[in-house]
């Protein structure tokens, strides 16, 4: 399948990270299933399919990259123009997403807070996802290992 230029461009950025982490390219990686997009050249939807990993769905289209993570539907949305103007930031975000220890704090059905931590436990990024009024009590935390673990500092060159 030949994809439109924007999809090829976005895949290339993901593949910079995959290559740096000694992984197969995004569309050939055994941990990602193509959900939709095989019949469309302007849209790809990929699900992470890795045992004991966080729930993750990537949407790549001609306008944006959208990332659903755990219960955070559209947790991250990166406009294509933002990505083009901030390639290094986007690549480093994907690297962080793929290599972080991820802790998710649940407080009932309506409150989710996701912590991305490095191997030393330092919080690199947080995402708070609230869908309704909530009480922040009786919270539980679930921890996930990195999607693509690595043992050394990975430097990504663009």
DSSP 8-state class, residue 28 = G
* CB 72 within 8 Å of CB 60: no
pLDDT (tens digit per residue) in 95-146: 999 999 999 999 988 899 999 999 999 999 999 998 887 677 789 999 999 9
pLDDT (tens digit per residue) in 40-77: 678 899 999 999 999 999 999 999 999 999 999 999 99
53: Cβ contacts below 8 Å, ≥ 6 apart: 31, 144, 145, 147
């Amino acid at each position: 399948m030949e994809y439109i230029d924007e999809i090829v461009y976005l895949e290339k950025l993901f593949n910079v990270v995959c290559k740096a982490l000694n992984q197969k390219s995004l569309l050939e990686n055994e941990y990602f299933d193509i959900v939709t997009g095989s019949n469309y050249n302007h849209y790809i939807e990929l699900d992470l399919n890795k045992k004991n990993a966080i729930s993750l769905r990537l949407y790549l289209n001609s306008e944006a990259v959208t990332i659903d993570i755990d219960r955070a539907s559209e947790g991250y949305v990166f406009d294509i123009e933002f990505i083009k103007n901030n390639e290094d930031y986007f690549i480093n975000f994907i690297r962080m997403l793929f290599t972080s220890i991820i802790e998710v704090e649940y407080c009932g059905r309506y409150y989710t807070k996701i912590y991305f931590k490095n191997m030393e436990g330092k919080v690199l990024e947080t995402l708070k996802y609230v869908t309704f009024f909530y009480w922040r009590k009786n919270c539980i935390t679930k921890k996930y290992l990195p999607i693509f673990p690595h043992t050394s500092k990975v430097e990504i060159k663009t």
